[in-house]
Amino acid sequence: MRGLITILCLIALNACSTWKYVSSKHQNAEELGLAGHPRKVITYRYQQDGRLFIKSTDSFNADGYRTQKQLEIHNPGKPVRYDTSYWIFDQNNFLTSELLNNQKTGYVNNRHGRVKKKYFYRHPDSLALLTTYKYKPRHRKIILKSYNTDGSLYSTGISSYDKQDHIIYSKFFIPGYNALEETWWERDEQGRKILSKLKSNDINDTLYTYFRYDPYGKLSSTRYVDQDKKIKIKKFTYRLDSLGNWIERTQEVNGYKIKERKEIEYYK
């Protein structure tokens, strides 16, 4: 009996020690697909006629966590729109708060840095909207529940992960609107997405997305197929820097091309 208890404890310990590395909402540079130690990344996205559409500037701390994002949105005939987001971390690089204009999100973490509770304020004088996170290591699941300001349940989300901590299933349900959305993922041996299936009763459709990659591991195409067999294909081409990060990317959909350019400043 003592041997059996020891085995069960070791299994539980292994599950928990692995799951302490499951990322919460905000990822570091590596998980965002950036190699090396970037300090600042400026991305320019252009319209087909060459005019600037979006400029975004991401700043990272020395440990690779994103701390700020600045957005400039250039719509023809309209004033430029500016948005700035901040992510604030403690000395352990645990996320504590997020700021976007007048909106604020506060986070309460467990000892592993995973979010336990999230409080969202639409403006400084508003009541908080609470979201709770429950982790089930043995079942490799995370359960999120969001509540209205009066304490009633607004929505429930469930995410399931494989043994490499890659998400393979998610479910989002809003009881008051009878809205249900489910997504399944398939991955290759390297953990890259190769197929996703999205089913939603809100749009009454099922969407399949197929992913392909180039020899450098960059996404080269996505093929979207709905339940009526309508197909849309998006292709990507890149120019990379010496660390393998893309500094130029072209997206092409049905002959329409979107060009993007990056300027990356690295820590020395």
- In order along its 268 residues, the chain shows pLDDT tens digits of 444 434 333 333 344 434 444 444 456 898 888 999 999 999 999 998 899 999 999 999 999 999 999 999 999 889 999 999 999 999 888 889 999 888 999 999 988 888 999 999 998 889 999 999 999 988 999 999 999 999 999 999 999 999 888 899 999 999 878 789 999 999 999 999 999 999 998 778 899 999 999 999 999 999 999 888 889 999 999 999 999 999 999 999 988 899 999 999 999 8
In a domain, 7, yes or no: no
Above pLDDT 70, what percent of the chain?
90
Domain check: are 181 and 220 in the same one? no
194-205 pLDDT, tens per residue?
999 999 987 788
Q: Specify the CATH number for the domain of residue 91.
A: 2.60.40
Count: domains in the chain: 3
pTM of the model: 0.82
The residue out of 68, 95, 116 marking a domain boundary is 116
74-132 pLDDT, tens per residue?
998 899 999 999 999 998 888 899 998 889 999 999 888 889 999 999 988 899 999 99
The residue out of 116, 147, 182 marking a domain boundary is 116
In a domain, 16, yes or no: no
Domain check: are 99 and 41 in the same one? yes
- pLDDT confidence of residue 2: 43
Domain check: are 53 and 100 in the same one? yes
Range of the domain at 166: 127-192
In a domain, 43, yes or no: yes
Going 119 to 13 to 164 to 61, the CA torsion angle's sign is: positive
The residue out of 71, 88, 116 marking a domain boundary is 116
For residues 66 and 88, the answer to whether their CB atoms sit within 8 Å is: no
In a domain, 9, yes or no: no
Number of separate helices (H) and strands (E) present in the chain: 1, 18
Domain check: are 175 and 212 in the same one? no
In a domain, 22, yes or no: no
